[in-house]
Amino acid sequence: MHRVVVGVFVALIVCIGGAPASAHHSFAAEYDRDKPVTLHGTVTRIEWMNPHIYFYMDVKDEGGAIVNWAIEGGAPTSLYRAGWRKDDMKVGDAVTVNGYLARNGKKLANMRTAVLADGREVFGGQQYFTPTLPKPPGF
Amino acid sequence: MRAVWCSRMTGGLALSAILLGTGIAAAQDAQPSHPDLSGFWVNQYTPNLSTVLGGEPPFTDFGAEQWRTVDTSKDPTAICLPVGPSRAFTAPFPFQLVQGKDTIAILFEYQSIWRAIYMDGRPHPEDVADYPYFMGHSVGRWEGNVLVVDTTGIDERSWLDTAGHRHSAELRLTERFESTGANTIKWTVTFDDPVYFTRPWSIARTFTRGKPADRLLPYTCNENNKDVEQLESFQPNLNYKHVPEPATGAKPKPKPQ
């Protein structure tokens, strides 16, 4: 069991389902599926670019210091088909990210789901190809 | 006498009718219509082919050792090298198929890459092995309503899947595209690579027609490929134990230099 303490609250998330999808690179070569994490913070930069989106968020650590984290999501095309649009997340938004820590110990996580500023919980990966998840209108 | 004449006339007319009918049939055979596979299709994402196969493919000793020691941080796509012809059909991205009479073009969203399948009866180029392409060189033909595609000259740096199944420059693919309804294509692919596998093996997947509102979207891999700096060596199969199939008398080819 791993316990990871970051941000304004601490969470231990049970890893559900299979290994997260990542077609572009091996998930396990970059992230540890045994180290789930929940991060709550403020978005500082968004890179809606291929092959996977990145955004950055300021998160308070246990001592109250602000630490900037990098969050990797799915491919922009996959997120688009999942209903994400560029303006669903803006710099300055308060968001929560559920994901997995990087193996190299850096302030980097892979996003499984995110709770956006408006309260919507959205998936961060390749759900367009996961038939059990709802599709956006038109898809 | 009249009866005989009538009988001969009737028989002649019947024969003429049969010949005419045959002629029409022959004319139709000369210009057969094939299923139109054109459209926007969605893959079945399959990051590990062995999950479909129900076990590992029939490795040679060399192929088994490559699988046992594969380091998934070395995935060629992680540094934005193109995928191969079969992995493009199992990635979690759609593709557009444009069916012409002499050429069938397949436009993959993943890595914005293409395949051209030549349908005009040409053979593979004699020097195809000297100038490999990640997608290989493909020629196709119709067997009834099934499109059969033969591909060689596949760059050996490509992987067969995200899990790290690999192949040599001797890989030959045979793919069969069968329309199984207005909105589905059954795709069967056979991998024949005597360096990595003791015999050909096959899997089948289904392509589903994409939604009308959908379209090919941009995928420019090296636009912001930050992952490559974060990858660490990862060898998930080090405990893999190779159990060769019973010998069939065929000798596997030697390991490539």
DSSP string, B142-168: EETTEEEEEEE-B-TTS-SSTT-----
pLDDT band at A11 (very low <50, low <70, confident <90, very high): very low
Question: Is the Cβ–Cβ distance between B215 and B205 less than 8 Å?
Answer: no
ipTM of the complex: 0.77
A50 touches chain B (CB under 8 A): yes
- Give A108-136 as a DSSP string: EEEEEEEE-TTS-EEE-S-GGG-TTSPPP
Interface of A with B in 68-127 (CB under 8 A): 70, 72, 75-78, 80-81, 102-104, 106, 108, 126
The pairing of strands A66-72 and A108-115 is: parallel
The tokens for B101 are 């009479």
Query: Pick the residue with more confidence: A112 or B87?
Result: B87
pTM here is 0.81
* Omega prior to A51 cis, within 30 of 0: yes
Q: A25 and B78 in contact (C-beta within 8 Å)?
A: yes
pLDDT for residue A24: 72
What confidence score (pLDDT) does residue B108 get? 98
Q: What angle do CA B204, B119, B219 make, to 5 degrees?
A: 60
Task: List the single residue in A with minimal CA-CA distance to B72.
Answer: A26
The whole-angstrom separation of Cα A99 and Cα A69 is 12
Query: What's the confidence (pLDDT) of residue A28?
Result: 83
Distances (CA, A) of B236 to A25, B67, B70: 14, 10, 8
Question: Is A29–B75 a contact, with Cβ atoms under 8 angstroms apart?
Answer: yes
Chain A residues in contact with B226 by the CB 8 A cut-off are 54, 70, 72
Which is more confident, A41 or A133? A41
* Token digits of residue B127: 């020097």
Average pLDDT value over all residues in chain A: 77
Rounded to a whole number, what is the distance in Å from the CA of B144 to chain A's nearest CA? Answer: 31
Domains of chain A with CATH codes: 33-129 (2.40.50.140)
Confidence check: pLDDT of A92 > 60: yes
Amino acid, res. B144: G
- In 3D space, the residue among B237, B255, B257, B249 whose CA is nearest the CA of residue B60 turns out to be B255
Mean pLDDT of A73-78: 90
At B137 the pLDDT is: 98
Q: What is the pLDDT of residue A10?
A: 29
| Residue B15, pLDDT score | 42
Neighbours of B86 (CB within 10 A): 29
Contacts of residue B170, defined as CB under 8 A and 6 or more positions apart, other chains included, come to: B193, B194, B195, B253, B256
Instruction: Report the SS3 class of residue A98.
Output: strand
Residue A39 scores a pLDDT above 60: yes
Cβ neighbours for B47, distance < 8 A, ≥ 6 positions apart: A19, A21, A23, B90, B161, B162, B163
Taking 50 as the pLDDT cut, the residues of chain B under it are 1-30
Domains and CATH numbers, chain B: 39-223 (2.40.128.20)
Q: Nearest CB to B78: which of A24, A103, A129?
A: A24
φ, ψ of residue B111 in degrees (nearest 5): 65, 10
Q: Which residue has the higher pLDDT, A25 or A87?
A: A87
* Cα A81 to Cα A17, A123, B44, B132, distances in angstroms: 21, 11, 15, 34
Please, which pLDDT band fits residue A19 given cuts at 50, 70 and 90? Answer: very low
Ranges A2-16, A41-55, A106-120, most confident: A41-55
Find the CB nearest A139 among B164, B213, B224: B213
* Between residues B47 and A83, the one the model is more confident about: B47
Sequence-distant (≥ 6) Cβ neighbours of residue A122 within 8 angstroms: A82, A83, A84, A88, A113, A114, A115, A116
Q: State residue A33's pLDDT score.
A: 83
> Do B213 and A138 make contact, defined as CB atoms within 8 angstroms?
yes
Position B250 scores a pLDDT of 55
